[in-house]
A and B are shown apart, each in its own frame.
Chain A
């Protein structure tokens, strides 16, 4: 079955630790995205990548980093510089750049205490 997987579903970390969220897709999509979802805020774009080895900052990139070494994978690292990291994180992919429909993974709920 084709789709997007994110792991783990729930993640707990202590303040000051970096944490990496996994996102893998087997849809052969070129573009991948990371969103953060907070209650009442909608989906806010953290980073996106339209092609392997290239990525751009979204609206709220501060305190996050990404890599795109393989077409299938787009991991997100939440660094200790992110002031309020507790949130629901969603990864998505699309066949082509920007204007194509996006397919979302199931999400990772990160709690930092």
Chain B
């Protein structure tokens, strides 16, 4: 079952912050985050494993609350290069990664 991402789309000015949420109805083993720029392949950002950890990648970080079966991606002081569609992928048990429908992020000057 596809995880649900919110919001579906967001527009930011450079320097603003954003949060993208990903929630699942299933118990999760891990959450993956990817970013895809228009017409390009998705690129891996980070994996969060069961344990409620928070990870960071430059000014992009994420958290994983396994009790709530939710993950959030935090983008701080956004840059034009952050524009793209962000996908979360969730892993439950022994089944392959299931991706959400994506959140389209547009950063404008």
Contacts and interface: CB of A to CB of B under 8 A. Distances in A.
B99 A58 contact: no
B44 A102 contact: yes
B96 A48 contact: yes
B99 A43 contact: yes
A90 B96 contact: no
B100 A98 contact: no
Contacts of A99: 29-30, 47, 91
Contact of B41 (A41, A48, A106): A106
A107 interface: yes
Interface of A: 33, 35, 40-45, 48, 58-59, 90, 98-99, 101-107
Interface of B: 2, 29-30, 32, 34, 40-44, 47, 87, 89, 91, 94-102
